[in-house]
Chain A
Amino acid sequence: MQAFLQQLINGISLGSIYALVALGYTMVYGVLRLINFAHGDIYMLGAFAGYYASRFLHGRAGNGFLETSAVLLFSMVACALVGMLIERLAYRPVRKASKLTSLIIAIGVSLFLENLGQLVFGADPKFFPQIIPEKMIALGGLALTNQQVIVLVVALLLMAGLSGFIYYTKWGTAMRATSYNLDAAKLMGINTNVVISLTFALGSALAAAGGILVSLNQPGIDPLMGVMTGLKAFVAAVLGGIGNIVGALLGGLILGLAETLVAGYGSSTYRDAIAFLILIAILLFKPEGILGKGQVEKV
């Protein structure tokens, strides 16, 4: 029982990372109907931005809390800019062309970022500095690390902030309108280009936060770390119902739990397969996802 609860905690911690990355997929998909394959690589860039920022800041920022916040903020802003840049340079020119073209470009951008990362950062894994020293928190026989708590709290705060933004601000309303119907939103006077840029910026910032949070737990970062996480986060987004913000959260948690449980009780080599098995099952039985709305294709 205790082992099970322990796995549960690990699963939720992992799941909240997936959820953060999945939010970016779901938001971009909601607005542009595009699977942004490069999103996983933004998560990688976020981890690297955090790595360099924390090496620069180490010992200068006073306490660990300030330092972590500064690193997180820097990396989120940097990745937001990169995300907007990618949208502007690679996706916007082909927005009018077929969906396939943007999908192939997304694959190209992803490969580009991975290989540029290997060139610039080096292909060998780097060790993310321990900004916050690891402490064990005993909770009724369960071993929690303070980092797991931080991951969970930061992830929840960010997600709450995002929901607040999307549901209670004017820009959030514009974003929802754009994802509902891009052309109609344009006719209502919404500057959809700005909204799309904003979507990319927000999604990328969240992915960057995910990258940093995961590096707090597992300090090895390398330029290909975003590939698998990106795919799994996408699975999480589809699982929850792509285009649906709460769905992304739910999907991320389910996926994280499923994966830790399979790795804990089954074979860890099947760990990567479980995400795809879940994906296939959900697509066969409920393609719109847990919380998604079904769409009828019209002629």
Chain B
Amino acid sequence: MKRGLYILAAVAGLGILQWGMTSLLLEGPIRQGPYYYQILILAGINIILAVSLNLTNGITGQFSIGHAGFFAVGAYAAACVSVYGRPLFVGAFGFSPPWIQDSLVLIAASGAGIIAAALAGLLVGIPSLRLRGDYLAIVTLGFGEIIRVLILNVDFVGGARGFIGIPKLSNFFWVFLAVGAAVITVRNMERSSHGRALLSIREDEIASQAMGIPITRYKVMAFVIGAAFAGLAGSLFGHYTMYLHTNTFTFVKSFEIIIMISIGGLGSLAGSILGAIILTLLPELFRGFSEYRMVIYSLVLILVMIFRPQGLLGRGGLMGRKRKAS
């Protein structure tokens, strides 16, 4: 009961914020308002990506570098639903006001994005999670690239031309509703017995197996949930930019998400959020001398990892502990 009230209050608060954003930034007096609004949206999407990758990489300790692949699957699946399915919705719900129609289309599209990404996660996760460490990393990288190349060859979604004509349906309200959902899901999971199982897998796979934890099932579960949220982020991204191209989803994007969670602190939820915000803002702040910004950006990553390997908000000890030579 109380929880329901909180959710209602949060939704109402977001609705008011959205109204405020629209009247201040988009149509309002603030100069460059739309620019700030866009940064906010992208930060939100990056937060969802970082938090979801943190579930696999940080909490479960399975180093995946193919997150952009799931992001892409979600984005394209959702865009397909809204581009090809929108007329159906408009036909069926023609009597309702346009914003209800838009919301329904976005919800259906995001649902499709989530399911498609989760299925892709399952498909990738089941075979590859038998592998460990570096091998897993490189296989997820390979899967991410394969997903991208496959999408590039599907003419149905634009292929190499890119996917155009996606309606602009997502906004501040939906993005931050999704951020809230992702953060709360991951936080609750981390504190549940499932979360402790995941942490134990990260700390010592063999020991947790000996304790009777079905490690493969948990790994796949973490992987699928992470992929599902990446799919949600993809849906919101596509419905914000209105255009999708596979060049957005190269492994550079996966690296970017990894940098977010590493700078913030692997395994730390607050760290992932902070990392996502920093990495969204940093390039914008350096826009003045844009040739140098990527150089500085990578240098910052190297220095943070050398001098504070646990990340800005990470706790020392857990991940930084030296493993026994094996």
Taking a contact as CB atoms under 8 Å apart, the answer to whether A273 and B149 are in contact is: yes
Taking a contact as CB atoms under 8 Å apart, the answer to whether A35 and B309 are in contact is: no
Cβ of A194 within 8 Å of any chain B Cβ, yes or no, is no
- Interface 9-mer from A13-21, A112-120, A162-170: A112-120
Q: How far is the CA of A119 from the CA of B207 in the complex (A)?
A: 48
The digit string for B213-233, where 1 denotes a CB below 8 A from any CB of A, is 000000000000000000000
Chain B residues proximal to chain A, CB less than 8 Å: 63, 127-128, 130-135, 137-139, 141-143, 145-146, 149-150, 152-153, 160, 206-207, 251, 255, 258-259, 262, 266, 291-292, 294-295, 297-299, 301-302, 305-306, 309, 319-323, 325-326
A107 / chain B contacts, CB cutoff of 8 Å: 255, 258-259, 301
List of 3 A-B pairs having minimum Cβ-Cβ separation, nearest first:
A276-B142, A115-B294, A112-B298
The digit string for A47-88, where 1 denotes a CB below 8 A from any CB of B, is 000000000000000000000000000000000000000000
A29 / chain B contacts, CB cutoff of 8 Å: 134
Residue of B nearest to A273 (CB): B149
Cβ of A187 within 8 Å of any chain B Cβ, yes or no, is no
Q: Shortest distance in angstroms between A222's beta carbon and chain B's nearest beta carbon? A: 15
Taking a contact as CB atoms under 8 Å apart, the answer to whether A104 and B262 are in contact is: yes
Chain A residues proximal to chain B, CB less than 8 Å: 29, 33, 35, 90, 93-94, 96-101, 103-105, 107-109, 111-112, 115-116, 118-119, 181-183, 231, 234-235, 238, 267, 269-270, 272-273, 275-277, 279-280, 283-284, 287, 297-299
A112 / chain B contacts, CB cutoff of 8 Å: 295, 298-299, 302
Taking a contact as CB atoms under 8 Å apart, the answer to whether B302 and A105 are in contact is: yes
B305 / chain A contacts, CB cutoff of 8 Å: 94, 101, 104-105, 108
Taking a contact as CB atoms under 8 Å apart, the answer to whether A277 and B146 are in contact is: yes
Known: A107-B255, A273-B146, A287-B131. 9 other contacts (CB 8 A): A90-B302, A101-B305, A103-B137, A108-B299, A111-B294, A119-B291, A272-B149, A276-B146, A283-B138
Taking a contact as CB atoms under 8 Å apart, the answer to whether A100 and B319 are in contact is: yes
B266 / chain A contacts, CB cutoff of 8 Å: 100
Q: How far is the CA of A46 from the CA of B133 in the complex (A)?
A: 30
Residue of A nearest to B142 (CB): A276
Kindly name the residue among A29, A101, A238, A269 whose own CB sees the greatest number of chain B CB atoms within 10 A.
Answer: A101
Report 7 cross-chain contacts, Cβ distance below 8 Å, ordered by A residue: A98-B309, A98-B323, A103-B63, A108-B299, A115-B294, A115-B295, A284-B130
